[in-house]
Amino acid sequence: MLRRWTHSPRLRESSMSASPAPILITGASQRIGLYCAERLLDEGQPVIATFRYERPGHERPGLARLRERGVPTLQADFADEAGILAFIGRLKEHTDRLRAIVHNASEWLGETTPGEATPGEEARIFQRLFNVHMLAPYLINLHCAELLERSSPADIVHIGDDVTRKGSARHIAYSASKAGLDNLTLSFAARLAPRVKVNGIAPALILFKPEDDAEYRARTLAKSALGIEPGAEAVYLGLRYLLDNPYVTGTTLTVNGGRHLK
Ligand SMILES: NC(=O)C1=CN([C@@H]2O[C@H](COP(=O)(O)OP(=O)(O)OC[C@H]3O[C@@H](n4cnc5c(N)ncnc54)[C@H](OP(=O)(O)O)[C@@H]3O)[C@@H](O)[C@H]2O)C=CC1
Ligand SMILES: Nc1nc2c(c(=O)[nH]1)N=C([C@H](O)[C@@H](O)CO)CN2
């Protein structure tokens, strides 16, 4: 169970209900989001998870594991405003309070090969990345702050990317949208204090994709001082720190293996 702080009246555990309010994790059907959801469940912390799609008759293993543990899995596609607002409506049908919101959902899209983009494709990708990484956290935070304020303590955690430190020649729109997410951390931390803490986590390489080849893996590992693929626990430990610490808001934790030292 996550540690509860009671010494401060502002952070005293909500007395409205004995059962802990759930933590919403977006994009929790796989990889880091799924890992953090399962670790929170192991601690006795209820979770609500979102996923983008599921083929009929082909239940995804991660979603099956969450459902077996009683986790409400809500469909959500944050590619446009309508999808975001529709999700918010579904969320409010499920709960009237939240312990935290973890904005984890993300698309890692690079630029199309010069000259190969179809008309409008570059702008569509740019807009989609900004919708997933900025508009969704923005609208969900605005429309769901009241759910967080019924819990105490309460947190918002934005999962960003260490790449915003210097930008990326191959993921220009992705990096810019994640940089905007970093700025949302500052603004929402100021707006929602003292009832809700708002922080970010900026990972660098955490998990390779199965299709990443040996050359890419070696080249990527060489970019950090520690030179390892840490796995999702490295992000979960940062999430636990932010959820447990009553005196941290408006900050972004760097979890990058010392990339800035190379
Ligand atoms: N993995 C890494 O090494 C690093 C990760 N990060 C960040 O950490 C977080 C987790 O990373 P990782 O687990 O690799 O993420 P994934 O690439 O696995 O994506 C996480 C989830 O985001 C969901 N998602 C994608 N697009 C949309 C959309 N339009 N609407 C709703 N959900 C969507 C996907 O749902 P579905 O599967 O249902 O389509 C997916 O399961 C991300 O924010 C990422 O940017 C940062 C640096 C390094
Ligand atoms: N949504 C995602 N964002 C990112 C991913 C990912 O798999 N999904 N992966 C990375 C890389 O690990 C990069 O940090 C090093 O290759 C970045 N963002």
- The pTM (predicted TM-score) of the whole model is 0.95
Q: What does the pLDDT look like over 239-259, one tens digit per residue?
A: 999 999 999 999 999 999 999
Q: Which ligand is nearest to the CA of 210?
A: 2
Sheet with 252-255, edge to edge strand ranges? 73-75, 47-51, 23-25, 100-103, 155-159, 197-203, 252-255
Q: Which residues are catalytic?
A: 174
Domains of the chain by residue range: 21-110+118-259
Decide if pLDDT at 100 tops 70: yes
Residue type, 98: L
Q: For a pocket test of ligand 2, which of 50, 161, 229 has the largest count of ligand atoms closer than 8 A to its C-beta? A: 161
Write the ipTM.
0.99
Q: What does the pLDDT look like over 51-63, one tens digit per residue?
A: 999 999 999 999 9
CATH superfamily of 21-110+118-259: NAD(P)-binding Rossmann-like Domain (3.40.50.720)
